[in-house]
Structure 1
Amino acid sequence: MIDNISETFGMLFFAVFILVMLVLGVMLIGRMFLNIYRKLIGIRIRKMESCRSCGHPISRSAIICPNCGENFGKINGYADSIFFCFLLGFGLIGLAFNSLSEFLEMFEGFSFLR
């Protein structure tokens, strides 16, 4: 009985993991096409932006403003890269489909289906 419950929760966790990988992959592919669209119509992805605290121009990939020390806590540069979005998006989708095939093989072997 306990083995069936643990197998069921394991399958549920694995299915949610595959779904998250697929959703993230699709989001990154969508971001890639958005970046391509921006490049084609001429909207430049700015390399510099103003600090939200002091207004000093800083790099978009900066984590801390060198002028005032404001912490931005994120790196924006990767999301604007077409190549990064392509690699990570298709990599996640490929990994999700590979995991899905493994999941289906595991699903056939579970004892609660017998």
Structure 2
Amino acid sequence: MDIDDSLDYGQVKAAVLAKYDINPETYRQRFCSLEVNPDECPKELYARLKELYVKWIQPKDSSMEAARLADVFVAAQQKGQPWSYNLWRTKDNWKPAYQPVTGVGRT
């Protein structure tokens, strides 16, 4: 890494993560194999779990995709509901897979 790049935090962080092969899978494994320290209070355990979860799932980048996939899943579970993953996958065409039915006007 040249000197100019080393002044950019984002580039340094990316280089370190790549060098040590730290990626979402690393955090998933740490999250799933977490051991509770005997001297750790519940708040400290919660903080560790939350940090690992956020680094694993990266909700800022993946929450909209998760919502789309959930809608596709719900549509697939409803019998007779035509659906196509490719239709729901595109950002511009995204819409809920089903319309919730309220009690108003039902017989």
Greater percentage in strand: 1
Same fold (TM over 0.5): no
Choose between structure 1 and 2 for higher RCO, CA contacts under 8 A separated by at least 6 residues: 1
